[in-house]
Every structure is written in C-alpha cells, then in structure tokens.
Amino acid sequence: MSITYIEGNTKPEGSKIGIVVSRWNSAITDRMLDGALKALKGNGIKEEDIIVTRCPGSFELPLAVQSLLDSKPLDGVIALGVVIRGGTPHFEYVCDAVTRGIIDLNLNSKKPVAFGVLTTDDVKQAVARVGDKGNKGGEAALAVLEMISLQRKLNH
C-alpha cells in the first residue's frame, strides 16, 4: 500500500471569487485589496470573475460574506479587514466575533472563506503586513484559491 496525497493549487480554472473588504482602516484594507486582486489575476482569475463588496468594519464581515455567498454563484470569498488593539477590551470582542463568524461560514456554506483579517497592536504593525515584502491580502487570496482547488479534488 502507498500513501495517497491530495493537495490543492493556486490555479483553480474558471473560479468566481468574491472579496469583502471593510472600510474601517481603509488606508490598510485598500492595500490588502490591491494585494488580493494582484494575486488573483496573477493566478489566472479573470476580472469579470471577481466581485468586490465593501462593508463598514471587520465586525460586519461575516454577514456581508454570507449575503454575498447567498446572492452570487461564487466558488470562494476573501474577507479583508483590520482590527487594531486599543485601550479597551473591544479588540478582543471584535476579533473573537469575526473569527467565529468566518469559521461558521466555512463550515456552513461549504465554500472557502479566507480569513484576511489583520489583528495588530498598532498601525505600524498593520502597515508592515501590507507592504511589498508580504501582503496579507494577497496571502488570503492564495489561500482561497488553494482551498477551491482542494475542494474540487476531494469532491470528485
């Protein structure tokens, strides 16, 4: 007997991708969006197969993603947002809610939803994660593409 290996790749042909991006901290989320779009196009996703939706903040991402999945025939969605720690427990509540919401969407929709939500101590850390040496929006795009490919392989 031999081991069977099943892996996805970042080139799932004909995929339709949604991106939901929060407006809160838009100086950062706009750069994440640019990174995601660059990664998608660089892996063969056509512009006409990408839908970008804006929502107010990271807390609203799960509902906006669910609404997008319910309204459009998509293979996966990238959720992009930023939560920066402040002096109150608000940071923990928002991070926990968004994380749980994205987990639930993945499991209940059976569609990949990439978690592209930065959780940082300050703006400087967030900016460092969307630069030329590594853009977390682009990384989230690659993750959703790989999961689409993996699901296709597992479901056939």
Is 90 among the residues known to form the active site?
yes
Better-predicted residue by pLDDT, 6 or 1:
6
Q: Structurally, what CATH architecture does the domain formed by 21-154 represent?
A: 3-Layer(aba) Sandwich (3.40)
pLDDT, tens only, 101-125: 999 999 999 999 999 999 999 999 8
**Catalytic one among 23, 90, 100, 110?**
90
Q: Parse the chain into domains and list their residue ranges.
A: 21-154
DSSP for 43-90, written as a single string: TT--GGGEEEEEESSGGGHHHHHHHHHHHS--SEEEEEEEEE--SSTH
